[in-house]
């Protein structure tokens, strides 16, 4: 599996974690800035942009965000069915 610079700089990039009732992760934009993200609702992602004036995303980054939302929803569904 090929690693990119983002994975070296931010090892938790796009790795979902569960804390109490909130699923979270970090993402990296096209300018290599890291953003904390939370999934407080199964179908929504909240990107913390505090400290930044903007976030730069290309099509691949947007596709990976959609995938993260889908993965978080599956985690929520699995938690709610236990």
What lies within 8 Å, CB to CB, of 66 at 6+ separation is none
Task: Record the pTM.
Answer: 0.86
CB atoms within 10 A of CB 29: 18
Number of domains, the chain: 1
Q: Which two tokens stand for residue 26?
A: 């970090």
Give the range of the structural domain holding residue 64, as residue numbers without chain letter.
5-80
Q: Are 40 and 22 in contact (CB under 8 A)?
A: yes
Tens-binned pLDDT, residue by residue, of the chain (82 aa): 556 888 889 999 999 999 877 899 999 999 999 999 999 777 889 999 999 999 999 999 999 999 999 999 999 888 888 7
Question: Where would I find the beta strands (DSSP E) of the chain?
Answer: 17-19, 22-28, 34-39, 46-48
DSSP label at residue 40: S
């Amino acid at each position: 599996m090929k690693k990119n610079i983002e994975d070296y700089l931010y090892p938790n990039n796009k790795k979902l974690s569960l804390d109490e009732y909130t699923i979270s992760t970090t993402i990296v934009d096209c300018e290599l800035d890291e953003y904390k993200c939370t999934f407080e609702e199964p179908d929504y992602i909240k990107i913390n942009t505090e400290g930044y004036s903007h976030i730069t995303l290309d099509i691949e980054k947007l596709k990976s965000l959609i995938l993260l939302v889908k993965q978080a929803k599956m985690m929520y569904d699995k938690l709610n069915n236990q």
